[in-house]
Homo-oligomer: A and B are copies of this chain.
Amino acid sequence: MTSSRVTIPTMTTLQTTSIHDAYRERSVLITGGLGFIGSNLARRLVEVGDVEVYLLDALVPDQGGNLFNIEDIKDQVTLHIADMGDPSVINHLVGGMDYVFNLAANVSHLDSMLFPQHDLKLNCQSQLTLLEACRNFNPHVKIVYTSTRQVYGKPLYLPLDEQHRCAPVDINGVHKLAAEHYHLLYHRVYGVRSTCLRLTNTYGPRHLMRHNRQSVIAWFIRQAMDGGMIDLFGEGRQKRDFNYVDDVVEALLMIGASEKAEGDVFNLGSHEPVSLSHLAEELIWLTGHGTVRYVPFPPERQLIDIGNCYSSYRKIETLVGWEPRTTLRAGLASTIEFYNNHRAHYWDSKIESTPRILTTA
């Protein structure tokens, strides 16, 4: 055997193999399955093949749930439009699952400050309902919970690692941290096999694009595509990290397949943080539209702003070999192409079709 004939599997091949092994012929529930990341994850699981994919989504108004997100795979998944916080729904649903990707959440930091009790209901009460259902009806299910790097609050050092102290600066961060603690506690006490991922800014196709209260990058993309104003607070120097949604989906599947990840917390992150002004320039260059406008910080955002903020993904890389693979430019280009083709379903999306619905509650 000569060295020229040795085929060294690429990381991607290895990943694909282990993901196939882990998920084929298994049942997977995605909470928040009509949302941005949930629907991209569902599509990837459909591609894996031989996976029973169940989606649970309450289509809470103003959140990211959008039936068009699964238009092309709707016959290959089973959708439950129902509230995860309703024990009669979730107790029944978790019983037969091998995996739960627990993505359902209230995600707006600004809204959480305006309606803290609503955020509590979605991000804590419903999470407890799910975990109690698992404990009682499927105690050894694998759960991957998507948390946020917002739990760290204002960084004491950068990049943020998982040892950084948690001091959330908004209600959403408080509740996401509490829900992380729930997951780790149900692992330690009851054997539920939970892992928490602290996501950073995720972007890509199928995001909520209707308003600017959920994601800075989604709103910038929309403004650039529409030839509108991209408002940069301060001078836009705040550095952030951005992950393309396909990379996040891969992280979810890899960490879900890892026994060693159970009971632990992992950051995602990107190779290189970029400033918001650089992001805006990229978008203007890619779309040929949009204009930057420098504006003072609005008071309600200044109060919960955290300055530069980006995470180290070394821990997940060390454990399962994950790293982001999509460059910012390539990811933004795919994203823009997607919305150019499907703008009508995102700029002012409505519920447009009635897929196979098993439960309504």
Residue numbers of A with Cβ under 8 A of B are 113, 116-117, 120, 124-125, 128-129, 132, 163, 165-171, 173-175, 177-178, 181-182, 184-185, 188-189, 303-304
Query: Would you list 21 pairs from A and B whose C-beta atoms are within 8 A, ordered by A residue?
Result: A116-B128, A117-B128, A117-B129, A117-B132, A120-B124, A120-B125, A120-B128, A124-B124, A124-B178, A163-B165, A165-B165, A167-B181, A167-B184, A169-B185, A171-B182, A174-B178, A174-B185, A177-B178, A178-B178, A188-B303, A189-B303
- Within the complex, the shortest CB–CB distance from A111 to chain B, in Å, comes to 14
Contact B113 A132 (CB under 8 A): no
Q: Which residue of B166, B173, B182, B189 is within 8 Å of A304 (Cβ)?
A: B189
Total copies of this chain within the assembly = 2
A173 to B166: give the CA distance in the assembly, Å: 15
Contact A185 B171 (CB under 8 A): yes
Contact A175 B174 (CB under 8 A): no
Residues in chain B near residue A189, CB distance under 8 A: 113, 303-304
Contact A174 B181 (CB under 8 A): yes
Residues in chain B near residue A169, CB distance under 8 A: 185, 188
Residues in chain B near residue A165, CB distance under 8 A: 163, 165
Residues in chain B near residue A113, CB distance under 8 A: 189
- Within the complex, the shortest CB–CB distance from A172 to chain B, in Å, comes to 11
Residues in chain B near residue A177, CB distance under 8 A: 177-178, 181
- Within the complex, the shortest CB–CB distance from A315 to chain B, in Å, comes to 16
> Which B residue sits closest to A184, measured CB to CB?
B167
Residues in chain B near residue A129, CB distance under 8 A: 117
